[in-house]
Amino acid sequence: EVQLVESGGGLVQPGGSLRLSCAASGFTFSTYSMNWVRQAPGKGLEWVSYITSSSTTIFYADSVEGRFFISRDNAKNSLYLQMNSLRDEDTAVYYCARVGFWFAEDLWGQGTLVTVSS
């Protein structure tokens, strides 16, 4: 089955760190660029970070630049998001998404909830 499964979410204090993982299966992960997208409770979608298939190009939303770091391990069919210096406003469901034709996200995981609170 073609799918993405996120893990690693949870409750963390402001200033803390968390590492999210996204396990891909059912497709050739190493040939696709990937995104992280988040959604705060009751709010819209916000793009977070992008990485190309070979990790040669990476970029971030201004809101997370310098605090979040995206990476991938094609041998393990896995995508990661290292989140440091977490703030209350980082509280959201975090989705990993496959970037397909014309930079559209054609496959999404079910999301993992990150709650930043003291």
Partner 1 sequence: EIVLTQSPGTLSLSPGERATLSCRASQSVSSSYLAWYQQKPGQAPRLLIYGASSRATGIPERFSGSGSGTDFTLTISRLEPEDFAVYYCQQYGGSFTFGQGTKLEIK
Q: d(Cα 118, Cα 104) in Å, to the nearest integer?
A: 36
- Closest approach of Cβ 95 to partner 1, in Å? 6
Cβ closer to partner 1: 36 or 80?
Answer: 36
- Residues near partner 1 (CB under 8 A) are 35, 37, 44-47, 50, 59, 61-62, 95, 100-106, 108-111
Cβ closer to partner 1: 47 or 91?
Answer: 47
Residue 32: CB partners within 8 Å, gap ≥ 6?
53, 98, 99, 100
The H-or-E segment that residue 45 falls in is strand 45-51
Cβ closer to partner 1: 66 or 103?
Answer: 103
- Closest approach of Cβ 5 to partner 1, in Å? 11
Compute the chain's Rg from CA coordinates: 13
- Closest approach of Cβ 117 to partner 1, in Å? 22
Other CB atoms within 10 A of residue 50 CB? 19
